[in-house]
Amino acid sequence: MDIDKDWASLNSLVHKAIKTLERKNVTHAEAFFTNTRTTEVTIRNSEILTQNKIDESGVGFRVIVAKNKVGFACTNTLSEKAILDAGEKALAIAKVSSESPNFALPEASKTPKVNGLFDSRIAEITVEKAIDIAKRAIDSAENFDKRVIAKDGRVLFNSGYRGIINTLGVDFEEPETKATIYLGGIGEQNGEVTCSCYDFKFSRIEDLEPENIGENVGKMVIEMFKPQTLKTFQGTVIFGSEAVSYQLTDVLVDGLNGESAFSGRSAWARKLGQTVVSENLTITDNATLEKGFASRSFDDEGCSSQHTTLIRKGKLESFLHNATSANALKTKNTANASRFPGGLDTAHMIVGNGYRAKPEIYPSNLVIHHGDKMKEELVSEITKGVLIESMAGFAQKGSGIISAQLSRAFYIQNGEIRYPIKGGMVSGVGFDWFKQVSEVGKDVKQFPNAIVPSLLVNEVKVVGA
Amino acid sequence: MSKKDLAQLRGQKRVITTCTVKKGIVEDFSNISLSGVSARVFVDGKSWGFSSTSKFDFKSVKQTLENAVKLGKTSAKFKEQKIMLEPVKAVTADVSALAKKPLHNFSAEDIIQIPLEASKGARETGSQVVDAKATYISIEDDKYFLSSEGTRIHQNITRVLLLVDAIAKGDSLICPASENLGHAGGLEIFDKTSPYSFGKKIAEKAIRLLNAKAPPSGKFRVVIHPTLCATLLHEAIGHPLEADLAMSGGGFGNHIGETVSSKLVTIYDDGNVRGGLGYFPYDDEGVKCKHTVLIENGVLKSFMHDRTSAALANVQPTGNAHAWDYGVEPLIRQTNIGIEAGEFSLEEMIEDVKEGLFLEGTFGGQADTNADFTFGFQNAKWIRHGKLTEELRGANVAGNAIEVFKTIDAVGKEVILRPGACGKYQWAIQGRMVPAIRCEIMVGGTGG
């Protein structure tokens, strides 16, 4: 296949560029390179809107010169000249950069065997097949109930290679495939329009189950008719896995960042060994999980993947580290260098992901270990409370403050869901909520960088509309 | 392809330079060189196909064009609705944004000084500043657009941004503050605002907030500073005015000609605002960008369109089809969205409020197509008996923008140009022309 031939050529040019840099009095040099083919179908207003095929390859160099001065340059032009030039540019930038006292790169080590990262069915996917999957999702949602409109969605297949070389002997490559579907629906009835409801699946294999996704969206939409406003309320809130995976996980990612721990910016800095969240919570980072969406055998600077316990029964055991933050704190690298971090940092969004970016610290699959009760069982035990399946808003970095608008939320009374809630916000400090978790659900769902269940949290404030 | 089909090719070279300084140390200095070609074709009167490649040779471009045709044809089979694209007159144009201080006159050492100075300004403000991050970004774009209708456009535009975050830490409190500068042009942007003073201003705010209380929760009469109004306008009103979102059951539905907002409100989108981050003489379908009045004195006049949505709505395209880069398809995006100036000074707007809040700064936000929104403000002040009183920290506001905009009873007379960014399916940087406004809004603070 073309993609294999292109990869072999890119790989050999990148090796040549690293050898050229080695001869130039550099302390270290590193190249991260990718080759990705994307097939994408977008859905809008019950129809297929567009279908795209995008090929992208590129290489990013980090060059380190005396006194740990670092430069970065990348290119997506795959000629020998352009690749050697990018290495030269990184070197020129390193010379005018300032000293990074703790900078480190990982040394070569044996990588674990991680299964389920590649599915040839995705590598060979046709656009006809992608369109068929999208149509099945739309039909399933709209056939569920005639009031449902499949408003927007996307079916996405990625396949390609990821490679890393450095002058400390790291030289790894890995083929990988990813499949993603999401579908958003709204309901319309006598002029009433519901909020948007989404379902999604993130997978490494071609098993997107569009009928399930469509049906789930249909079910969710129908539940949202005739919402009622709620009076301001303080009490028990169940956050569904979707809400946990976004705003609440962002709080964890912020608190667990090793670089923030070193700089003192993390709320959990200098709290290793202390109880920082509810004893009901055990949280790990598992890059070696079979078929995990963010699994990999090495991180994006070439450290061998591992399964790290971050919080055990409420007690902080480790931060997330890359080579530099581990070096700064004189601790073990947890292989969390990522060139595909989440979040909406403007600089990062402008530059883009992968070979275009230097690695940051980010979880692979952040796993909140599940409990024994399904969400329905948690609901049945509540006298008065709120179930928040999804909410819109962000967690503030550093402080962990979340103040979000409720989107798919329900009022619970005497163990039953009574009605969907109209308007309203939830506000509080995410770090406090994690201390107030009294039950952990059994329902777990895979998100891009998290595998999380529902959480039952006491004493949460919900502001009425 | 047949004669009735339409093909568009976009070629682009983009060089991004970023330099991030944290705690006085250059943490990142990067040069990102990107280039590629995309092909977009409209086939069988129904369907678009899109394909892109980072390879620039003839064989790859030809293959990409063939891919796009095949994709379009595959999907056309499933489509019933014919779309009559309005023919576009062939345009030949070569345009560039004027930079008084072009980047090529400056060395890497000069560039490093910009975030270093901003970070120094922040750190020298006080020992409570535990972290200060300054990021310089320049984006140099060289774009070509060619179409089978005969259009040939070359656009050369440079954009420069400076982003500063400061975090102050007290005994038990962590307070962030941030602010962005940005324009289409060169380094002259720092003649008016020096990076040092810019960094200092942000750090001063973070320190001040350490002594501020948490804001209250509930519905309040508020005066919204332009920094926050920019986010409200973009997220909550701008998005529902994008034709693709409007057509998918957005909050404004198809109420053209109806009163949808306070009579004091006139909203437009204008790609020709010089210096605006959303300055684009032509869009990525080769359509000239216009000053499009969207809402006039409260009455809905137009949506923002690309050629497809314009054809479906039987109107002219408005030049709002923009792609983040060569690699992705154009979508309907805002360029520089704005609210026309009103008649009130900020003091006059505050004077009439018995009890309310003055909200300032933004932490970004998001909105649903039904115009429900949530976004964060950085700091606030109580307004009591027409006067600004004690300072409060940030939180989020939420509501339905259409409802909120109906409650506007004053629009400020001073309009400022703000930098902005948006993540609708793909990234974009945009401008916003905004005054202060007074309205009612729900605040989700953690205080009493």
Segment B342-347 mean pLDDT? 97
Binding-face residues of B in 290-319 toward A, CB within 8 A: none
- Helix residue ranges, H only, A23-119: 80-96
Would the pLDDT of A1 be above 60? no
The count of other CB atoms within 10 Å of the CB of residue A9 is 14
Say whether A174 sits in a helix, a strand or coil: strand
Calculate how close chain B gets to A362, using CA atoms only, in Å.
Answer: 17
What is the share, in percent, of chain A residues with pLDDT greater than 70?
Answer: 100
Segment A308-314 mean pLDDT? 98
Say if the Cβ atoms of B368 and A428 lie within 8 Å.
no
Strand A384-392, strand A233-239: pairing: parallel
The residue among A51, A126, A132 whose CA lies nearest residue B49 is A51
Say if the Cβ atoms of A356 and B108 lie within 8 Å.
no
- Give contacts of A68 with chain B, Cβ < 8 Å: none
Would the pLDDT of A401 be above 90? no
The Cα B95–Cα B92 span in angstroms is 10
Say if the Cβ atoms of A344 and B71 lie within 8 Å.
no
**Complete domains list, chain A, with CATH:** 2-223 (3.30.2290.10), 233-463 (no CATH)
Dihedral angle computed from the Cα positions of residues B109, B111, B112 and B117, in that order, rounded to the nearest 10 degrees? 120
Segment A294-321 mean pLDDT? 98
Place B1 in a pLDDT band, splitting at 50, 70 and 90.
low
The Cα B421–Cα B402 span in angstroms is 22
- Give contacts of B370 with chain A, Cβ < 8 Å: 186, 193, 195-196
- Give contacts of A360 with chain B, Cβ < 8 Å: none
**In b/e form, how buried is each residue of A155-184, taking b as 16+ CB within 10 angstroms?**
bbbbbbbbbbbbbbebebbbbbbbbbbbbb
pLDDT digit string (tens) for A155-174?
999 999 999 999 999 999 99
- Give contacts of A404 with chain B, Cβ < 8 Å: 374, 396, 398, 444
The residue among B304, B292, B303, B266 whose CA lies nearest residue B405 is B266
- Give contacts of B23 with chain A, Cβ < 8 Å: 263
Return the pLDDT at A396.
81
Return the pLDDT at A68.
93
The pair phi, psi for residue A418, each rounded to 5°, is: -95, -50
- Give contacts of B55 with chain A, Cβ < 8 Å: 55, 78
Place B250 in a pLDDT band, splitting at 50, 70 and 90.
low
Binding-face residues of B in 169-228 toward A, CB within 8 A: 169, 173-176, 180, 217-218
Tally DSSP H helices, then E strands, for chain B. Answer: 9, 22
The Cα A177–Cα A155 span in angstroms is 14
B112 at A interface, C-beta within 8 A: yes
B42 at A interface, C-beta within 8 A: no
Residue recorded with tokens 């109580």: B382
Disruptive mutation site among A148, A262, A403, A461 for chain B (greatest number of B CBs within 10 Å) = A403
Binding-face residues of B in 72-111 toward A, CB within 8 A: 72, 74-75, 78-79, 108-109
Is the separation of the CB atoms in A6 and A37 below 8 Å? no
- Note the pTM of the prediction, 2 decimals: 0.92
| B1: its two tokens | 């392809």
Give me the DSSP letters along A192-220: EEPPPEEEEEEESSS---HHHHHHHHHHH
Segment B279-294 mean pLDDT? 96
Higher pLDDT, B161 or A400: B161
Nearest CA in chain B to A87: B31
User: What average pLDDT does the structure give for chain A?
Assistant: 94
Would the pLDDT of B189 be above 80? yes
Would the pLDDT of B444 be above 90? no
Place A198 in a pLDDT band, splitting at 50, 70 and 90.
very high
**Complete domains list, chain B, with CATH:** 6-210 (3.30.2290.10), 217-444 (no CATH)
Would the pLDDT of B251 be above 80? no
Segment B218-222 mean pLDDT? 94
Segment B21-37 mean pLDDT? 91
Place B176 in a pLDDT band, splitting at 50, 70 and 90.
confident
Would the pLDDT of A435 be above 90? yes
Place B86 in a pLDDT band, splitting at 50, 70 and 90.
confident
Disruptive mutation site among A425, A433, A460 for chain B (greatest number of B CBs within 10 Å) = A425
Is the separation of the CB atoms in B133 and B121 below 8 Å? no
User: A141-150, A219-228, A387-396, B11-20: which range is least confident on average?
Assistant: A387-396
Segment A128-134 mean pLDDT? 94
Strand A28-44, strand A148-166: pairing: antiparallel
